[in-house]
Amino acid sequence: TAVPHPLGASHPLALAPVTGPASSVDGFVRQFLRNLNHERGVALSASNDADRYFAFALTVRDYLMARWLEDLRRQREKPSKGVAYLSAEYLLGRQLDNNLLASGLTDIATEAMAACGIDIDELRAQEVEPGLGNGGLGRLAACFIDSLATLAVPNTGYGIRYEYGIFRQTFEGGQQVEQPDAWLTLGSPWEFPHPEASRRISFGGHTETYDDEGTPRSRWVPGWHVQAVPYNYLVPGYLNGWVNTLRLWSAKATDSFDLRVFNSGDYEEAVRAQTYAENISKVLYPEDSTPQGKELRLQQQYFFAAASIGDFLEQLPDDFDLTTLPDRIIFQLNDTHPVIGVPELMRVLVDEKKLEWDAAWAITQKCFAYTCHTLLPEALEVWSVDLLGRLLPRQLEIIYRINEEFLDEVRERYGDDEMRIRNMSIISEFPDRSVRMAYLATVASSKVNGVAKLHSQLLREKVLPDFNEFYPGKFTNVTNGVTPRRFIRLANPGLSDLITEAIGTGWLTDLERLRELETYAENPDFRAAFAEVKAANKRRLDRVMRDRDGFEISDGHLLDAMVKRLHEYKRQMLKVLHIVTEYERVVSGRVAASDIQPRTFIFGAKAAPGYVMAKRIIHLINAVGEVVNADPRVEGRLKVLFTPNYNVTLAERVIPAADLSEQISLAGKEASGTGNMKFALNGALTIGTDDGANVEIRELVGDENFFLFGMSEPEVEALWARGYKPAEFYQADENLRRAIDLIASGAFSGGDKSVFEPIVSNLLYDDRFMVLADYSSYIAEQAKVDAAYADQDAWTHAAILNVARCGFFSSDRSIRDYIARIWHTPPVL
């Protein structure tokens, strides 16, 4: 419920607009000093870097505040349909520069700090990026809320305020070691806690039926509760004065719960209970695409889904007609992580708002839409009925009823086709009774989308074909995108200036206009300027790497980048085999070092802490790097850098410097990829398989500007069907044999053959992701890369065309597609 204004809603002061500080250097300085003195409690002369960063960030925030309050008021007074984006992850990256850019304050702020004798870069360096996500899925959510604000779509992003984000990665003896990411130690200047708006979230207990004035009803009698405390973050649109909200929930023990136990005299138990409750938002699960089915994870999912749905419903007027809910809101499910919100909305509508089941179901089916981000069978979430019944007994009952009614419809359509019924049931019986969350999401949603053309097609044809047949028109595609504000303008100011010089402003919010660069690709001066930007970006990366890791980026090297989560399906192993092959060909004397194109290979990749094979591969990359980098025979020719703790901040430095983008997953496994788009938009050429969004990148940039290799998805299927025997590929290719033998010989493990033996035998006898099958084609294509790079000018020409033709991959376009195909939200500005 809205808090009444203390002066009464019609009092002139209640209507007075909130004004920001004056938009001048002077105004900025004054507000900055005020924040330093009054918020941090220090004088400028006594302040440290952290004080100054905080005061600076608070000042930027002050400018955005007025617009934020204004937009919230507008949405309250004249509500129109909005989007509640439900995501367990937001991989935001640093906020300061983005907020400066969005508010048009960069120049004023820079001058203001100079006037105070402060180096703004030192302030920038203070910010710890909130790593509240694992990889692509979380970064996509961050790009989407940026685009939603830039397109002035009313939106709240809902998620979890993890106290610890994705772990900090270090290497010890070449092996990954995880450290906790205590990003909140010094607090965050970007968040607004709202404890007064906390919500009580319940768990456990049992259900019962009761007589509600003649109507039999069910209700939930929960066993325990936690408080969900919201923290708001501003999400400013780019120079449009629009500010949306990101609302992240933090778990806090309820007073009543603790007190009850405490009164019973068991102090230790009370403290334990508090810790238990507050654990819910303690840490991000560091698994990308491999859910473990842990109880705490389900608690997290329900915690934020229920808090978010409740939060939205509560701000509706008391007399709101719930049958019109779909005209007011769409809950977009970012993968299955918030899908438990489906039975939760049904519970609220039926048990609390006392709607008839059918009416509630009709509303629910229109209020949800589901985005699927994977095809890997092991990534499709299931929750055991046991666990659900214990933690969320009423929601489980509701899931059963949804399933019964759904299967009745299926029977009506197909008769007693038991095979089909079993295949489509939301409840799977083997190996344990469990709920298939993707099926629940599909049945409950108005639309289901995949994240790239190929992925959406495979989703329809391979993963959910029965559902596609049953619900014609429900499935659609929205190809992912990335925000050009962060990943071009902020990450690559040199390129941005060059683009603006050539085609004027406006492209940052209308990225298809990059097409106008095509003619500039034919202009030698432009090519030279473009090449100089790339070279400057490499020098910038060199400085970052020296500082951070003590690595150097050598001049004249082709910079070959593979940065993404470590996963077998992404095939970092194939990249390793390429490096070992190049190395082996030189040291065996088959090729002269002087005949190979100098290359620096840069890796960034975190492995899930429990993913043993992924960690072995990290170890191997580091081991190969150590040997190659120390071997005088390839000195100046081959270098391998594995930079630890790859994150958004580092991505913003690596991507603009790269020449070659490695997108080499086994066809049919990478749903989309978004790093691939960022590289292409920053003028790297891609070597890639026909997978995910690579397919669309290649279609757009043209075959001559893309290095394609490997089997297509149907070819992969055909090889599986024939029976894949990796050892045959090993036998058939001398380079491959030599590379694998070298690893097996202990050459990269001080002679100890056992260290990487599990990798070798996995490749030879299992190789689920067909590394060996694609090896020959990969090596052949890499030779073409070398040849192409030898003609620098032609390479630059192709790089410019990659930039010019990839405007499609703006997340603004993705959001427009969501609006047109799924959300149907009307424009408000």
Interacting residues with ligand B1N (CB under 6 A): 134, 136-137, 140, 285, 287-289, 291, 335, 373-374, 379, 451, 480, 670-674, 692
Catalytic residue among 527, 570, 585, 639: 570
11 catalytically annotated: no
Pick between residue 94 and residue 373 the one whose CB is nearest to ligand B1N: 373
Please, are residues 334 and 136 in contact by the beta-carbon 8 Å criterion? no
Tell me which of 168, 678, 797, 805 is the catalytic residue. Answer: 678
Beta-bridge partners for 157: 85, 246
639 is catalytic: no
The Cα 410–Cα 420 span in angstroms is 9
Q: Per-residue b/e over 142-180, b at no fewer than 16 CB within 10 Å?
A: bbbbbbbbbbbbbbbbbbbbbbbbbbbbebeebebeeee
State the pairing for strand pair 90-91/368-371: unpaired
Task: State which residue, 40 or 373, has the beta carbon closest to ligand B1N.
Answer: 373
| Cβ at position 673, least distance to ligand B1N in Å | 5
- Asked if residue 785 lies in contact with residue 687, where contact means CB atoms within 8 angstroms, the answer is yes
Rounded CA-CA distance 316/266 in Å is: 41
In the complex, what is the shortest distance from the CB of residue 379 to ligand B1N, in angstroms, rounded to a whole number?
5
Active-site position among 67, 161, 168, 373: 373
Helix (H) or strand (E) holding 109: helix 106-115
Angle between helices 572-587 and 771-790 (to 10 degrees): 60
**Active-site option among 581, 600, 674, 686:** 674
Residue closer to ligand B1N (CB basis): 181 or 335: 335
Q: Which lies closer to ligand B1N via its Cβ, residue 102 or residue 283?
A: 283
| 3-class secondary-structure state, position 203 | strand
Q: What CA–CA distance (Å, rounded) separates 275 from 54?
A: 30
SS3 per-residue string spanning 471-528:
CCCCEEECCCCECHHHHHHHCCHHHHHHHHHHHCCCHHHCHHHHHHHCHHHHCHHHHH
Task: Tell me the three state secondary structure of residue 59.
Answer: helix
Q: Rounded to the nearest whole angstrom, what is the least distance from the CB of residue 716 to ligand B1N in the complex?
A: 16
What is the smallest separation between the CB atom of 166 and ligand B1N, expressed in angstroms? 10
Q: What radius of gyration do the chain's Cα atoms show? A: 28
Q: Minimal CB distance to ligand B1N: which residue?
A: 136
In whole angstroms, the minimum distance from the beta carbon of 349 to ligand B1N comes to 28
Q: Which amino acid is present at 324? A: T
Q: Please say which residue, 284 or 755, places its beta carbon nearer to ligand B1N.
A: 284
Our CB check for ligand B1N shows the closer of 379 and 804 to be 379
Q: How far is the CB of 293 from ligand B1N (least distance, A)?
A: 11
Nearest-angstrom CA–CA distance, 668 and 373:
12
Shortest gap between Cβ of 98 and ligand B1N (angstroms)?
A: 20
> Could you tell me which residues come within 8 angstroms of residue 175 by beta carbon, excluding any fewer than 6 positions away?
615, 618, 619, 622
Q: Which is nearer to ligand B1N, 120 or 438 (CB)?
A: 438
Considering beta carbons, is residue 326 or 692 the nearer one to ligand B1N? 692
161 is catalytic: no
Rounded to whole angstroms, how far apart are CA atoms 574 and 759? 12
Tokens of 446: 């108005």
Judge whether 825 and 151 are in contact, CB under 8 Å: no
Closest approach of ligand B1N to the CB of residue 606, in Å:
12
Catalytic residue among 460, 474, 564, 813: 564
From the list 61, 139, 394, 565, the catalytic residue is 565
Let me know if 206 is a catalytic residue. no
Phi/psi at 382 (5° precision): -130, 145
Q: Is 373 marked active-site?
A: yes
- Give the residue among 444, 408, 371 at the shortest CA–CA distance from 672: 371
Cβ-based nearer residue to ligand B1N, 571 or 639? 571
Tell me, yes or no, if 252 is annotated catalytic. Answer: no
Least Cα distance to 57 among 17, 98, 25, 13 occurs for 98
Please name the helix (run of DSSP H) or strand (run of DSSP E) that holds residue 45, with its range, or none.
Answer: none
Q: How far is the CB of 662 from ligand B1N (least distance, A)?
A: 14
| Residues designated catalytic | 373, 564-565, 570, 674, 678
